[in-house]
A and B are shown apart, each in its own frame.
Chain A
Amino acid sequence: MTAWAERESPFDAEVRSDGNEAFVVDLDGFAGPIDVLLSLARSQKVDLSRISIVRLADQYLDFVAAARRRSLQVAAEYLVTAAWLAYLKSRLLLPRPVLEDDEPEPEALAAALAWQLQRLDAMRRMGHRLFARPQLGRDTFLRPAAKVPAAPSVPAVPAGACTLTQLLAAYAGHLKRQQTPRLVVTPSSLMSVDAALARLRAGLGAVPGWESFLRYLPEECLNDEADPLTTRAAVAATFVACLELAREGAVRMRQARPFGPIFIIAAEGGSTGGG
């Protein structure tokens, strides 16, 4: 039950490690703001139903301030709770202005907070009590199943051998295993723009004069049995490659009319991208 060790106050560490400035407010040990509040409330040493919420708010604000002074990272939720408690405290202490219709009474809020702390505290204590009880497999033991071969009315493996719970767990585990995504990247057989660029650069000098850019497609795309998808991809890649070369100034492009054939020619001046 060491994991259950209760702390009197979150400042315990500070007392113990007196003189050591390094790390005294231990936020890591807490599950959340309510955990801190519960520890602080217990340090008031009164019945949780009679704690002073105003004092609790002060304690909590001190705690968060101390944590921030040590330049610990304080999670946003701790700060939200701090802001809320500061607000609640002011509402409890200051003379009351006229309440808005839907604004809850501060006393009601304080009571609800105390109740919430009490309830969590009760559940913690009960969890502790449960695990302090004799436990099966530790303090009490069942008989191992006996083999009763010749007793049809008493099966050696009773009907409940596999409970619904086990069945569901097994099924869930099976589903989970099946859902493990497996990423398979199939290499593409389609022509890439890079490949088209390389092909164009290599072929440009060989053809003098204007020529349809389709001439530069790979041979296998030009015959009739070519896979239409492969051909389309090759056309698209080659066209993009032409545009790229035109941008570099390596070729000039010309299209006489909309949807007409597109012609390219190696630019004069020899500024071809790479021959």
Chain B
Amino acid sequence: MADDALRLLEAMLFTAGEPLNERWLARRLPAGSDVKRLLARLAADYAGRGVQLVRAGETWAFMTAPDLGAQLAADRSHELKLSRAAIETLAIIAYHQPVTRADIEQIRAVHVSKGTLDVLFEQGWIAPQGRRDTPGRPVTWGTTDLFLRHFGLTSLKELPDAAELRAAGLLDAAPAAILGLPAAECEGSAAQ
């Protein structure tokens, strides 16, 4: 019985062609199936193969193994080139989320143009996470499962050096900004 569920799961993931949500999969499996366990088993079955079952946040998808990239990709010319500001901003959102625009400006000590966030939003890498309960109720931003998948991360815990940075206190809420924007513009962001 479990094998049937496993085969159905494999078939669904195979046909989907895009990441599928765990809950979406669970609804379509026979009642009583442990979707997480089945996914883990399937992923283990595919480990080391040219095609792998990869988790990103709550979504799963078959993907080619990263080490084959060079042999598979004939044309790298349309690779997205992001500005330095966009790369920095993405890192700040990934490591400090949820962050407001004021938080990002405080860390970068320069104004963040709307276009920078737009580029990341259009890529589907960041999404609004809600609003912070401070004056003005600013929107907070965080990364999406698509962000994790794009960079081959299973969860935010896998962000490079996340633990080290946290231990070093570099991901803590900020004290008042020293440089850059006038203090008044940063006030709303001091509290995390």
Residues of A near any B CB (own CB < 8 A): 3-4, 31-35, 37, 77, 81, 84, 109, 112-113, 115-116, 118-120, 122-124, 126-131, 133-146, 148, 151, 153-154, 156, 158-161, 163-166, 169
Q: A144 touching B109 by the CB < 8 A rule?
A: no
Q: Which residues of B contact A138 (CB under 8 A)?
A: 69, 73, 76, 79
Q: B179 touching A34 by the CB < 8 A rule?
A: yes
CA distance A169 to B72 in the complex (A): 32
Q: B150 touching A135 by the CB < 8 A rule?
A: yes
Q: Which residues of A contact B110 (CB under 8 A)?
A: 31-32, 34-35
Give the residue of B82, B91, B127 whose beta carbon is less than 8 angstroms from that of A126.
B91
Q: A165 touching B28 by the CB < 8 A rule?
A: no
Q: Which residues of A contact B62 (CB under 8 A)?
A: 142-143
- Encoded as 1 (CB less than 8 Å from any A CB) or 0, chain B from 159 to 184 comes to 11100010011100011111110000
Q: A129 touching B95 by the CB < 8 A rule?
A: no
CA distance A161 to B15 in the complex (A): 14
Q: Told that A119-B170, A133-B152, A140-B54 touch, could you supply 10 new A-B pairs with CB distance under 8 A?
A: A32-B110, A113-B179, A116-B179, A124-B88, A127-B87, A130-B94, A139-B73, A139-B152, A140-B65, A145-B18
CB distance from A37 to the nearest CB of B (A): 7
Q: Which residues of B contact A77 (CB under 8 A)?
A: 180
Sorting the interface of chain B by its residue count into under 10, 10 to 19, 20 to 34 or 35 or more gives 35 or more
Which A residue sits closest to B24, measured CB to CB? A159
CB distance from B112 to the nearest CB of A (A): 11
The 10 lowest CB-CB distance pairs between A and B, nearest first, are A139-B69, A145-B17, A134-B66, A127-B91, A34-B109, A127-B87, A129-B160, A32-B110, A136-B150, A126-B91
Q: A145 touching B66 by the CB < 8 A rule?
A: no
Interface centre among A115, A119, A138, A140 (most CB of B within 10 A): A140
Provide 10 A-B residue pairs closer than 8 Å at the C-beta atoms, listed in order of the A residue: A4-B84, A35-B110, A126-B91, A127-B91, A135-B150, A142-B18, A143-B62, A154-B28, A165-B144, A169-B122
Which A residue sits closest to B179, measured CB to CB? A34
CA distance A269 to B88 in the complex (A): 82
Q: A153 touching B165 by the CB < 8 A rule?
A: no
Residues of B near any A CB (own CB < 8 A): 11-12, 14-21, 24, 28, 54, 61-66, 69-70, 72-73, 76, 79, 81-85, 87-88, 90-92, 94-95, 107-110, 121-122, 124, 127, 144, 149-153, 159-161, 165, 168-170, 174-180
Q: Which residues of B contact A130 (CB under 8 A)?
A: 87, 90-91, 94, 151, 159-160
CB distance from B65 to the nearest CB of A (A): 7
CA distance A130 to B95 in the complex (A): 11
Give the residue of B66, B88, B121, B174 whose beta carbon is less than 8 angstroms from that of A140.
B66
Q: B63 touching A127 by the CB < 8 A rule?
A: no
Q: B24 touching A160 by the CB < 8 A rule?
A: yes
Known: A133-B151, A165-B127. A143 touches B69 (CB 8 A): no
Q: B66 touching A139 by the CB < 8 A rule?
A: yes
Q: B87 touching A131 by the CB < 8 A rule?
A: yes
Q: A146 touching B17 by the CB < 8 A rule?
A: yes
Q: Which residues of A contact B91 (CB under 8 A)?
A: 123-124, 126-127, 130
CA distance A30 to B163 in the complex (A): 30
CB distance from B14 to the nearest CB of A (A): 7
CA distance A33 to B177 in the complex (A): 13
Q: Which residues of B contact A109 (CB under 8 A)?
A: 178
Q: B88 touching A123 by the CB < 8 A rule?
A: yes
Known: A3-B83, A116-B179. A142 touches B61 (CB 8 A): yes
Q: Which residues of B contact A84 (CB under 8 A)?
A: 179
CA distance A130 to B161 in the complex (A): 11
CA distance A118 to B149 in the complex (A): 28
CA distance A264 to B92 in the complex (A): 77
Q: A4 touching B87 by the CB < 8 A rule?
A: yes
Known: A160-B21, A166-B124. A3 touches B84 (CB 8 A): yes
Q: B69 touching A134 by the CB < 8 A rule?
A: yes
Q: A158 touching B73 by the CB < 8 A rule?
A: no
CA distance A33 to B149 in the complex (A): 35
CA distance A166 to B110 in the complex (A): 29
Known: A112-B175, A142-B63, A160-B20. A34 touches B15 (CB 8 A): no
Q: Which residues of B contact A146 (CB under 8 A)?
A: 14-17
Q: Which residues of A contact B175 (CB under 8 A)?
A: 112, 115
